[in-house]
Amino acid sequence: MGSRVSFRIAASVFAVLALAALTPVSSNPAPDFGQPLAGLTADQLARFSDGQDEFVSVETVEEGVGPVFNDVSCASCHSVAAIGGGSAILETRFGTTGPDGLFDPLSQLGGSLIQKQGIGAAADCEYLAEIVPPEATIVANRRTTPLFGLGLVDAVPDATFWAIAQEEACDPDGIGGVVSVVTNISTGQNAVGKFGWKGQNPTLFQFAGDAYLNEMGITNPQFPNESCPQGDCAALSCNPAPQLNDEGPGVQAFADFMAFLAPPPRGPVNAQALAGELVFRGVGCAGCHRTVMRTGPNPVAALNKVVFHPFSDFLLHDMGALGDGITQNLATGRLMRTAPLWGARKLATFLHDGRAATFDAAILAHDGQAKKARDRYANLPAYKKTWLTAFLNSL
């Protein structure tokens, strides 16, 4: 028995050393949380800085906030670790199942997104926070996600995600992901959705415009129509800023900030973390939380053919009971986009609704296509779970 144990320990040590040998070491430290990508030109750095200023600026009612909204600046929600990060702040979505069995967002009652603030009195109207109507039978929370490194994701060719889906379709765990196909408003063409919990936006520019409207109530060229308070479009008659609130520069500034925002730097990597990566791969987590991606040709040198490590495939997966019940575009209630794990060590809560306070709880809550990997993890001895936690705490 002793020789077998010694052999296993030796094998584990050998594997850890082999993995360590493959881990790149650079004399140049990676940009910290909230910093711009390395290698940007002076013009690109200026665009990053201008975008960051816009990102933290507080919008006013006179500038178009509301009449219903969630907050007055992007940085109010995207702040953990640094400006541009995520947070434990939750937004609420709701809906019901229609007579046809399909998801009904109850748009006539303000769905599916709740705007939790109103601007108050304006002319003959009073704009109040929206509430979940009693007709809703599906209510879901969504955690604010970090934006670090999304310029790299934006620079990955659509063909890459289709290829990943084809590869996953052959995986024996049955984890085949679904490419989120959405409309690129700028081109009017179908494109791969990569951003948002349902992969509902294909580009950072569209992602920014969507958030500007739905989170702050700022209309813009791609999203020119105000959200009707609690679904009552007649109530917009008192809107103090009925004109297009942003002609496009604000959205572009947000997109520039996100495009040039560096990915999370890797934390300290010790022997336990290296062993934990082997466990991560062994139980099947890396099937969806893919460790490596590469951008395509890009006129921005810092985004051109860059290898990066998001720990996500950015595809939709059937998560079974972990799904949020909300349908957006092709993403039905059971489908969720794989959350990137880079920077996870800075998060206080996990999963789309923030229900998990630990990595262990988050993994054990997985379901659907992740069930086999979850069960393998559940059956691990405690010391291997400790290794896996050390690995996740290094991301």
Has residue 18 got a pLDDT over 90?
Answer: no
> Confidence class of residue 12 from pLDDT cuts 50, 70 and 90?
very low
113 part of a folded domain: yes
What are the angstrom distances between the C-alpha of 387 and each of 12, 188, 249, 277, 333?
12, 47, 47, 8, 33
4 part of a folded domain: no
* pLDDT, average across residues 40-55: 98
If one counts the domains in the chain, the total is: 1
Mean pLDDT computed over every residue of the chain:
94
Q: Give first-to-last CA distance, the chain, whole Å.
A: 36
Has residue 274 got a pLDDT over 50?
Answer: yes
Task: Report d(CA 51, CA 258) in Å as an integer.
Answer: 8
pLDDT tens string 78-108: 999 999 999 999 999 999 999 999 999 999 9
Task: Report d(CA 135, CA 104) in Å as an integer.
Answer: 11
For strands 103-104 and 293-294, give the pairing: unpaired
pLDDT tens string 308-323: 999 999 999 999 999 9
pLDDT tens string 353-373: 999 999 999 999 999 999 999
pLDDT at residue 20, rounded to an integer: 43
* pLDDT, average across residues 118-136: 97
320 part of a folded domain: yes
pLDDT at residue 6, rounded to an integer: 36
pLDDT at residue 32, rounded to an integer: 98
Name the nearest CA neighbour of 352 among 368, 369, 335: 335
1 part of a folded domain: no
Task: Report d(CA 47, CA 121) in Å as an integer.
Answer: 37
Please calculate the CA angle 160-162-167 and round it to the nearest 5 degrees: 95
255 part of a folded domain: yes
> Confidence class of residue 1 from pLDDT cuts 50, 70 and 90?
very low
Has residue 8 got a pLDDT over 90?
Answer: no
380 part of a folded domain: yes
pLDDT tens string 148-198: 999 999 999 999 999 999 999 999 999 999 999 999 999 999 999 999 999
User: What residues contact residue 303 under an 8 Å CB cut-off, 6+ apart?
Assistant: 37, 151, 152, 155, 259, 295
pLDDT at residue 29, rounded to an integer: 84
> Confidence class of residue 10 from pLDDT cuts 50, 70 and 90?
very low
| Better pLDDT: 326 or 7 | 326
pLDDT tens string 190-229: 999 999 999 999 999 999 999 999 999 999 999 999 999 9
User: What residues contact residue 83 under an 8 Å CB cut-off, 6+ apart?
Assistant: 34, 52, 55, 56, 75
Residue 300 is part of which domain span?
41-392
333 part of a folded domain: yes
Percent of the chain with pLDDT over 90: 92
9 part of a folded domain: no
